[in-house]
Amino acid sequence: MNWFGHLHTINKHHRLVRKYCFKIGLYRQGLFHDMSKYSPTEFLAGSKYYLGYKSPNFAERNDIGYSTAWMHHKGRNKHHFEYWTDYISEGGGKMAGVRMPDRYVAEMICDRMAASRTYNKDKYTTAAPFEYFENSKDRQLMHPDTERLVYGLLLMVKEQGEDATLSYIKKSLLKKQ
């Protein structure tokens, strides 16, 4: 169990997300981002499977076949596209992604940048959040409109940087809210 390492990692991640969210005017989301990580379900698993260079959810999945922490986390945090899934009436009631509200997509971008910075440490580049998204195979349930928006914003982070992307999110994406 690495309680202190895990606590340090989630605190660092939370500080970065808060900083990014504050820049785009999402103060409440910045303050309350990922608070479920401090719950016993997530914190104890995160401490047990702590890696330091990537999410402990990967190690928990490798050990027991799934992640109890992730199952808990995704159902309580609206900035994860997995939260936005439901059975749809078209298509015989199969599970599908629901379009995410822009404010949660914006928080997702802040989250991806912060996670990439936290886990990549001094090897972080603005390409890292985009590359993580590109390499992930778990997007089958992401709504196509949400996927296009996330892809475009992460590409913007890669090509124009964090500040330009956050400025765009604040002035264009969130302006209508």
Tell me the three state secondary structure of residue 55. coil
Tell me which residue range forms the domain holding 66: 3-173
* CB half-sphere exposure, 109, CA atoms < 13 A: 38
* Of the candidate ranges 36-40, 76-80, 132-136, the one whose mean pLDDT is the lowest: 132-136
Q: Which residue has the higher pLDDT, 105 or 93?
A: 105
**What average pLDDT does the segment 118-138 reach?**
92
Residue 53 has pLDDT above 70, yes or no: yes
CB 150 within 8 A of CB 105: yes
User: How many domains does the structure of the chain reveal?
Assistant: 1
Residue 102, both tokens: 């822009």
**What average pLDDT does the segment 108-120 reach?**
97
Mean pLDDT score across all residues of the chain: 95
pTM for this model (two decimals)? 0.94
Rounded to whole angstroms, the Cα distance separating 136 from 121 reads 20
Residue 139 has pLDDT above 90, yes or no: no
